[in-house]
Structure 1
Amino acid sequence: MKFHQYLILTLKGCAMGMADVVPGVSGGTIAFISGIYEELIDSIKSINMQALKLLFTFRLAEFWRHINGRFLCAVLLGIAISIFSLARLMTYLLTHHTIAIWSFFFGLIVASALLVAQQVGKWNVQNVLSMLVGVVVAWWITIASPTETPDTWWFILLSGAIAICAMILPGISGAFILLLLGKYQFIMQAVGDLNIPVLLTFAVGAVAGIISFSHLLSWLLKHWHDITVTLLMGFMLGSLNKVWPWKEVTEMYVDSHGELQPLVERNVLPGRFEALTQLDAQVAEAVVLCIVGFLLIYAIELAGRIIMKRQGKEE
């Protein structure tokens, strides 16, 4: 690959990382609409016993080719850059510009779901049912209440394994799964403080989880492509419940800094939001940012098509 191709892959990884630190938005969604999803799953799946054998016999060049190392390295670099540089920024935006940021993500997800629908070869009863199952599962996840969980090493390990599987599923947010497990604030704090023992434990769980889960996902995409894609589309549509900008807080909790944070919320209309909070619903700004998010996805998709056409001509 040429330098500009590496750069584009790294930027796509940055977009995935940016999504992954936000509860309710999936890095898998970004991978899907940017055209790298199946290659990412296949590359992760290739980290198997054969790869380990090549590594431990020091056949490093063969190992690198076997795992599609250049592709993985570029994408993972982008994800890491975003997670470590944007964790605090996203926390700030979600705290101080809540309506604006959720409106932007709402537009992103709607456009993403429409693009995913175009990848379905033929719509039939099976595919519609698969999509509805995805909607129901994702909707239920978004209304489930977060729980109090231990900060022990084994639970951090387990949290990493579960969250990373969600992160590569379009529509199911790994960050939100962490929130449900009661570990979002804990992990974000560890990232901000560079708490190496916690981050390493979480990373080990994540690596184990993603390698095992990628085999199942790759098999489903190869043998049941349309049903799998419609299920993923359903996940994305169901997740819209989480990113609706106007909410009423029904339960609060005290975070690690002793500050009150929303625990359970329900969606309300802008007028109801203003009546409850005495705050401006910022409807105009929300609509504009929703449209910007929507158009951004189509701009990324169009750019991807142009790049693929150019690559085809060069080959």
Structure 2
Amino acid sequence: MLGIIFRGMAVGITETVPGISGSTVAMILGIYERLIYSLSILTTKHRREALPFLFTFGTGMVIGFAISIFIINYLLSYYRTPTLMFFIGIIVGFLPYLWKETLNHSKNKIKLKHYIIMFLFLSIVVVSQPLSGINQMDLNNLAIADYIFLAVAGFIASTALVLPGISGALILIILGIYDIATASLMSFDLPIILAIGSGIVLGVLLTSRLIRYLLTNYTVETYAAMIGLVSGSIYALWYHLDSIVSTSIIVVSLITFFGGIAFIITLKQTQNNKF
């Protein structure tokens, strides 16, 4: 039980980070398939089977999220480039493991269509970056259309909870509402929180069954899409680095980058450990 709470905390912390997705961390920690299964049966008659696990996992996730939102906001405000480079290091460190997992499922037979899928999903992330910040809202005068957009953004971001790849926070950056979402959480702006939150809840309930279906019936294709999304996340984070940096920032950023790689290697080495 304590192990599930700790894993939930790790995923919750990740969901505030514009980099690796919470489901990726769940995969690294060896709890991903159980999470997807539990979410997928919430809308079936077997939902009671999932509730104990999801309640324990969700408790840890809320704790981790609450702690992390303030820390991440501070780090991105004052140490943006080194922080983002740490996240890039995490993604770079995770890609070899994801590639190995893909090879295992494909029995070392990666086909041309799989490479095309990788390139397609990588391109989606890269091409979408100029859209970041395109949506500007007046938080003191939000219209119905703004709340609908926030709910849709939450729905799209919810895929990060069930699909290892691009993170929910990064999706919010792409859609231009990451700062709005974090500011609303820190100030407890209930209308905005409910708008985004409702989209996330609906998205998780609907997409979890879809992802489970894809992983069961189109395993290699789904993993190829994950590789494309994860690889594209590197560019997405790089795109949001500060444009002006000093020598000291470069040095610190290199340290945090390799620290991110070391962090992910450590997580993988302890994946099967019991908390």
Band of TM-score, shorter chain = 0.7 to 0.9
How many angstroms does 1:210 deviate by?
Answer: 1.1
Q: Does 1:36 align with 2:22?
A: no
Larger mean CA deviation between 192-201 and 41-50 belongs to: 192-201
TM (normalized to structure 1)? 0.75
Instruction: Output the CA distance in 2 between the equivalents of 1:187 and 1:304.
Output: 31
Larger mean CA deviation between 182-191 and 239-248 belongs to: 239-248
Alignment of 1:195-274 (within 5 A): 195-244=189-238, 247=241, 249=243, 273-274=244-245
How many angstroms does 1:116 deviate by?
Answer: 1.0
- Write the letter of the residue equivalent to 1:119: E
Which structure has the highest strand share of the two? 1
Show the counterpart of 2:256.
289
3-state SS, counterpart of residue 305 of structure 1: coil
2:56 maps to which of 47, 60, 74: 74
How many angstroms does 1:148 deviate by?
Answer: 2.0
Instruction: Output the CA distance in 2 between the equivalents of 1:36 and 1:143.
Output: 34
Structure 2: stretches of 5+ with no match in the other structure:
none
Show the counterpart of 1:85.
67
> Is the 8 Å Cα contact of residues 142 and 239 (structure 1) preserved in structure 2?
no
Q: Deviations over 1:247-304 (max 9, x none)?
A: 455xxxxxxxxxxxxxxxxxxxxxxx44xxxx33533322222222112212111112
Shift of the 301–79 alpha-carbon distance from structure 1 to 2, 3 Å rule, reads same
Q: Does 1:103 align with 2:85?
A: yes
> Is the 8 Å Cα contact of residues 161 and 207 (structure 1) preserved in structure 2?
yes
Q: Does 1:124 align with 2:110?
A: yes
Q: Does 1:304 align with 2:271?
A: yes
Shift of the 306–90 alpha-carbon distance from structure 1 to 2, 3 Å rule, reads closer
- The structure showing larger relative contact order (alpha-carbon pairs under 8 Å, at least 6 residues apart) is 2
Show the counterpart of 1:141.
128
Q: Does 1:177 align with 2:177?
A: no
2:48 maps to which of 28, 53, 64: 64
How many angstroms does 1:245 deviate by?
Answer: 8.5
3-state SS, counterpart of residue 21 of structure 1: coil
How many angstroms does 1:235 deviate by?
Answer: 0.8
Show the counterpart of 1:22.
17
How many angstroms does 1:49 deviate by?
Answer: 4.2
Instruction: Output the CA distance in 2 between the equivalents of 1:16 and 1:201.
Output: 22
1:186 maps to which of 155, 180, 189: 180
How many angstroms does 1:143 deviate by?
Answer: 4.1
2:154 maps to which of 160, 185, 206: 160
TM (normalized to structure 2)? 0.85
Q: Deviations over 1:101-159 (max 9, x none)?
A: 11211111111111111112224223322222222222223343322256433333222
Identity %: 25
Instruction: Output the CA distance in 2 between the equivalents of 1:33 and 1:48.
Output: 26
Structure 1: stretches of 5+ with no match in the other structure:
1-5, 52-62, 250-272, 309-315
Larger mean CA deviation between 118-127 and 205-214 belongs to: 118-127
Show the counterpart of 1:258.
none
Q: Who wins on radius of gyration, i.e. which is larger?
A: 1
3-state SS, counterpart of residue 282 of structure 1: helix
- Write the letter of the residue equivalent to 1:189: A
Instruction: Output the CA distance in 1 between the equivalents of 2:170 and 2:256.
Output: 22
> Is the 8 Å Cα contact of residues 103 and 289 (structure 1) preserved in structure 2?
yes
Q: Does 1:113 align with 2:100?
A: no
3-state SS, counterpart of residue 176 of structure 2: coil
Instruction: Output the CA distance in 2 between the equivalents of 1:246 and 1:200.
Output: 27
Show the counterpart of 1:267.
none
